[in-house]
Amino acid sequence: MSGELEKKSKLEQLADNEALVCRRMIEEENEEVITRIVGIAGDELLYIVCPWRSQRERDGILAKVTAIFRQKKVSAYLTIAEAWMGEEQDGLPSQNPAREEVLLIAGVDKVQNQKFMRTYPIKNNVDGTRTLETEKMNCGEIGGKLATLLDIDLSLN
């Protein structure tokens, strides 16, 4: 098992830890996961809470996050959020009655040239509790605006 941990990048290890934190929030505290972005700048972790409610708010927050990343010389980051997955209807998966609720953890590491997206299904139980499924689904690479927060020159002062 320790050999497996050694093969994982710092970003993948952070993603595993964040999944455990989210499991506790969902299952033990019955709380929703607040969308956040965790930047890695050397040995420093920067936690940025991102409670956007609209596309406009999201765009504004992501612009600010990019500026912070540039200033702090962030080389890698995770995005952690609850999300809906499924076929898009009216442009949004959330409008599909067959949608699935998931925990999404996506990572980008500019130095290691690594991008990934994991989803963990969230099951809503009859008694009102929720369960985070233990088996993650690797969904390939992250895309869109969340994948481009590090499209900056890290050598800038």
Q: What is the pLDDT of residues 49-77, one digit of tens each?
A: 998 888 898 888 988 999 999 999 999 99
Query: Has residue 155 been placed in a domain?
Result: no
Query: Has residue 68 been placed in a domain?
Result: yes
Domain interval for residue 67: 2-147
Query: Has residue 156 been placed in a domain?
Result: no
What total number of domains does the chain contain?
1
Task: Note the pTM of the prediction, 2 decimals.
Answer: 0.80
Query: Has residue 113 been placed in a domain?
Result: yes
Query: Has residue 34 been placed in a domain?
Result: yes
pLDDT interval class at 89 (50, 70, 90): low
List pLDDT tens digits, range 36-46: 999 999 999 99
Nearest alpha-carbon partner for 84 in 76, 93, 75: 93
pLDDT interval class at 23 (50, 70, 90): very high
Query: Has residue 153 been placed in a domain?
Result: no
